[in-house]
Amino acid sequence: MPLCGISDRKLATQLYSAFIAPSTYAHSTALIGNKIYFFGGLHLTEVDAYAYNYVYYLDVSGNFDTSSPPWTDLTSTAAIPYGSSWATASVGGVDNTQVFLFGGATRDPVTNTDTFLGMTYMFDSKSSSWKKPTLSGTEPSRRREMHAVHDNNGKIYLFGGATNNLTGSPTPIWFNDMVIIDTIAMSYSTGSIANVPFPRIDYSVEILPNGLILYIGGREATTNTTSEVVALSNITTYDTKSSVWGSVVASGGSTLESRYQHSSVLSPDGLIICYGGTNANNVAVTPQLIVLNTTSSPFSWSAPTVSGKYPPTLVLHSAHLVNDFMIIAFGNITNPTGPPLSTSSALYVLDTKSYTWTTSFSTNSTSTSGSPSATSTSKPTSTNTASSSSSISTVTLIGIVAGAGVGGVLLCAVIGFLLIRRRKNNEYDHPDGVLQIPSSSARADELQPNYANNMRADEFQPNYAHNMRADEFQPNYLNNAQTRQPPIPDEFQPNYMNQQSQHYAPR
């Protein structure tokens, strides 16, 4: 019998849609079965940034419209032990039901201070619980802005990243080591340093069925005082079977704009579909959607004709391929002529078979991106002399799924829960609730582009008007920078560690 004149179905719909996904960017995601899990991320107000400890998932087992996604919030019982941003996540364990959350900026949700509990935390999707795993080997240095892939043998591969005072380092450092986490043996190790690439951040990465990892775009430190956005024609590779670094020159890349802070997915037919990103001047790239064919020899880039209503231009978003649909979530909405305008809370869906943007997700297709497919015997040609220098070594985010039962006790419990949830959400939005990034004094005007006073502070973007910035998040670049440009000293760029000796390289 309906409760209080509300049908069971209507009540269930109201409960299910009670959670509204936050606007966020620099979050972490992982696909397990028919659920895309979102961890943390950053939320911006006009002057501050807050790191979420949220955990929630998108149910992709059924059809849905992007106006009402099937969210389930786990934060009340399974929040991350800290506010997390700029981290990376990958599935692992014997049955790939665990998520390993690695690195990033970590903040105490109460004191707003840096809190370091360990480089790796593990989320069990079966019990919706967290633990700090015990991993043998040497724990890697703290870092952010790196991305992970995993193979069929339970190993997670993470390359590069960078650290500064936000991640506990008084001196900015970029890394170019390969961190390997064996989620079966529960150990840390490192990959080969022979022909290791330049230190790199904010790239996208995919692993082919044959175990070859491809690094696309990103920003790399080429010397102690210069960095550049990596050309799309230069694909850095790492063979997980032979532990050999290499490179592939992809055709068509020279005609496309180099980018970083973009996303990518790998289709079953060997296409890597990239979306979004920014160029060296922190301006939205054109075109936003590009495709790398890894089955051709050499690899080849193209910009397909796309129909439907385009999403906004994005950076620092996430993407997964499910049933031939590329599901893009959140991110910073960029500007064709300047820095990001706002942060998104939306989902965007691309039908990768027809290259059509749609508002509907369907289960009538078969592909799922998140775990590598069966190993293939074919392998693209790769040279072992990557465009790198081994002499520069370590230089780098309620749908409450509730059955609508009957009886007054259940209704009261539900109402009480929603009230508590609302109060908690309000607490999360408060500057004292999770994280407030302190702003600091402005830099020299001649080194910074001037933006309107109503621009918001943005993590890892050029500085904005006077008190609307958080310096510890900002690697500043010159106003008139080209693809290659010298970073501002003492702000995320100057010193790089030597991997072998663990000393700073000479300036």
> Residue 484's Cα: distance from chain center in Å?
24
**Region 231-248: what's the mean pLDDT?**
98
- pLDDT bracket for residue 132 (50, 70, 90): very high
More confident residue, 34 or 43: 34
Residue 318 has pLDDT above 80, yes or no: yes
> Residue 243's Cα: distance from chain center in Å?
25
- pLDDT bracket for residue 276 (50, 70, 90): very high
More confident residue, 409 or 249: 249
pLDDT tens-place string over residues 47-80: 567 789 999 999 999 999 999 999 999 999 999 9
Distance CA 116, CA 113 (A): 10
More confident residue, 469 or 165: 165
Q: What is the CA radius of gyration of the chain?
A: 22
Among 468, 371, 288, 498, which Cα is nearest to 98's?
Answer: 371
Q: Report the length, in residues, of the chain.
A: 507
CATH topology of domain 8-361: Neuraminidase (2.120.10)
Residue 265 has pLDDT above 90, yes or no: yes
Strand 495-496 and strand 173-174: the pairing is parallel
pLDDT tens-place string over residues 330-357: 999 987 776 666 899 999 999 999 999 9
Distance CA 222, CA 199 (A): 8
Distance CA 400, CA 428 (A): 18
- pLDDT bracket for residue 95 (50, 70, 90): very high
Total-model pTM: 0.74
Query: For position 108, what pLDDT does the model report?
Result: 86
* Contact (CB, 8 A) for 290 and 271: no
List C-alpha distances in Å: 73 to 231, 278, 331, 419.
39, 31, 19, 15
Q: Where along the chain do its domains lie?
A: 8-361
Q: Look at residue 327 and give its three-state secondary structure.
A: strand
Task: Quote the strand ranges of 80-119, DSSP E.
Answer: 83-85, 88-92, 98-102, 105-107
Residues 295, 300, 306, 309: what is their CA dihedral angle, to the nearest 10 degrees? 100
Query: For position 50, what pLDDT does the model report?
Result: 78
Lowest mean pLDDT among 66-80, 120-134, 159-173: 159-173
More confident residue, 130 or 483: 130
List C-alpha distances in Å: 277 to 12, 30, 177.
38, 20, 24
Query: For position 300, what pLDDT does the model report?
Result: 98
- pLDDT bracket for residue 380 (50, 70, 90): very low
